[in-house]
Amino acid sequence: MKKIIICLSAVILLMLGMASCVTAPQITLSGTDLVEINAAGTGASISFVANRDWSVNSSDSWISVSPSSGTASDQPVTVTIQCEPNTTYDTRRATVTIVAEDVRQTVSVVQAENYGIILLQDHFEISSVGGSFQVEVQANIPYEVVVESSAQKWIKQRDTKALTARVLIFDVAANDVEKVREGHISFVPQVKTKSTSATASPVVTVKQGPKAPSSAIDLGVRVTGYPGAVYKLYVAECNIGAAKPEDYGKMFAWGETDTKSNYSWPTYKWANGGMTKLTKYCPRDKASDWDGSGGPDGKIVLDTADDPARALGGGWHTPTSVEMEALLAQCSWTWTTVGGKTGYLVKSREEGNNNSIFLPAAGYGYLTMRESAGTHGRYWTSDLSTGEPFNAAALTFSSSEAKMLMYERMNGFPIRPVYVEPDPDVIN
């Protein structure tokens, strides 16, 4: 019996000794438990030894790991951590966790924010009289504001503390030339970023309207038909194609930029031969009016490319109905004769303003003839009739009255160009 007891004791001691040789699950990192990755998402790696089969997972979808699992080993294993580019302007954080049975080892991943400069608006159009504009800037790095050298004489930054300002103010001088000018302002980063490529330098584009043409006549007319603004209206001295105020000049069908010998629906550019077969400028959804591809285009104002006055440059355009009505209401109209041609002398009513223009009774083109020259005048505006899209608005006059009416678009009428700019005496 004593021998049996001794043998049992030896077996128990042997089993306990064997159990003590089995080690617990372990994960041993070879380096830090913090990984920093730049905004571009360049990969990083971690190394560890795991004495059990292991797996790796990430807490966020913008992180991927490879390989994601493996077998137990006494040799270091390297796992690559790859992050998607950080397109936000904030640092982001996540974790990568190594699991071996019931043991976990967490590694923190920190990805740098995307450095950048954001401009809430990057295009500004300024009138010829000058003015100011504000640029709202959002940036998480310092930057320098650089006005290109060719524009430094007419664009000036009012606030010189560009590194701390969120709203920058620029003043624009009056344009003293009869053509549009353009300038650019760059916002140049002043630090190197953590990404693989340099942060872009956003650019503001400033376009300024031309000085009123020397042939533009100020009749003291103010137009309030523009939202929230008052404009000065200038009128050209002559009709398009005329050398003198009393000359009739050229005639145009509405929306056409070339003159022709026959003004009729079969020859009209924006119709397939008839007034109910329009191919451009038609807001009314009726089969009897539209013959173009697709549905009616909804256009009710001349496109720039279809305005003969725009081709003159210098900011000229065919007057709108509102501008023509302002000319009617704010000036005196007197039937008279100039240079042997009858028409209206249109004179300013503004105190101290003696300017005037002459609108000859040029008649109109219909088929191959010029009708009613010397007794009637008809001048196109840039506005379509929304009720009957085969018509457009025009100024019409005879010796007895001048008013606005609608006429078929295929007729040939002269055009008296106008120019507008913000009234410097009114805060718009």
pLDDT, tens digit (0-9, with 9 covering 90-100), for 242-276: 999 999 999 999 999 999 999 999 999 999 999 99
| 257, 398: one domain | yes
pLDDT, tens digit (0-9, with 9 covering 90-100), for 111-131: 888 777 888 899 998 878 888
Look at residues 85, 111, 137 and tell me which one is the last residue of a structural domain. 111
383-398 average pLDDT score: 95
Look at residues 81, 111, 141 and tell me which one is the last residue of a structural domain. 111
| 64, 105: one domain | yes
Where does the pLDDT of residue 165 fall: very low under 50, low under 70, confident under 90, or very high at 90 and above? low
| 346, 416: one domain | yes
| 77, 121: one domain | no
- Is residue 16 assigned to a domain? no
Q: Give the Cα separation of 318 and 393 in Å (integer).
A: 12
- For the chain, the domain total comes to 3
| 396, 417: one domain | yes
Parent domain of 134: 117-208
More confident residue, 332 or 160: 332
394-408 average pLDDT score: 98
In angstroms, the Cα distances linking 150 to 72, 143, 185, 191, 405 are 69, 21, 11, 26, 48
| 274, 326: one domain | yes
- Is residue 1 assigned to a domain? no
Q: Given this model, what pLDDT does residue 9 score?
A: 54
| 92, 222: one domain | no
pLDDT, tens digit (0-9, with 9 covering 90-100), for 46-63: 999 999 999 999 999 999
- Is residue 134 assigned to a domain? yes
Average pLDDT of the chain? 88
Q: Give the Cα separation of 124 and 185 in Å (integer).
A: 11
| 309, 380: one domain | yes
Residue 83 sits in a domain whose CATH number is 2.60.40.10
Q: Given this model, what pLDDT does residue 20 score?
A: 46
323 close to 355: Cβ distance less than 8 angstroms: no
Where does the pLDDT of residue 428 fall: very low under 50, low under 70, confident under 90, or very high at 90 and above? very low
pLDDT, tens digit (0-9, with 9 covering 90-100), for 181-214: 999 999 988 876 554 445 678 999 999 888 888 8
- Is residue 12 assigned to a domain? no
Q: What pTM was estimated for this model as a whole?
A: 0.63
- Is residue 9 assigned to a domain? no
pLDDT, tens digit (0-9, with 9 covering 90-100), for 133-158: 999 998 888 888 999 999 999 999 98
Look at residues 111, 143, 177 and tell me which one is the last residue of a structural domain. 111
| 255, 289: one domain | yes
